[in-house]
Amino acid sequence: MGFIAIPLPIASLALLKKGLSDVPAQAGRQGPFPFLTQVEPPATVDDAKAMVRDNTAVGVDGLILTYSGELPDAFLNTRDVVKALTES
């Protein structure tokens, strides 16, 4: 059990995370409750590092990259950014 958020501003993600804090207990669940969010791929390595830092600060456990272009082109054009996201 976990939660996947649509792309939202960081402040909204923080409020959402706080609002979800009781959900696992209410559902009779114990253990991890991953909080993931969808994000557009950042343009630069610095943007990727900032994205990871900001999302981690509000309790996001993982990012799901959502590409607006065709996946192969988007992925190949941002290889350094993807590497920065996975290494952070």
Q: Which residue has the higher pLDDT, 29 or 58?
A: 58
pTM for the complete prediction?
Answer: 0.75
Q: Where are the alpha helices (DSSP H) in 1-78?
A: 10-19, 23-26, 45-57, 71-77
The type of residue at 49 is K
Over residues 9-28, mean pLDDT: 93
The type of residue at 42 is P
User: What confidence tens digit (pLDDT) does each residue in 33-86 have?
Assistant: 999 999 998 888 899 999 999 999 999 999 998 877 666 555 555 667 666 666
**Residue 53, C-beta contacts closer than 8 angstroms, at least 6 positions apart:** 88
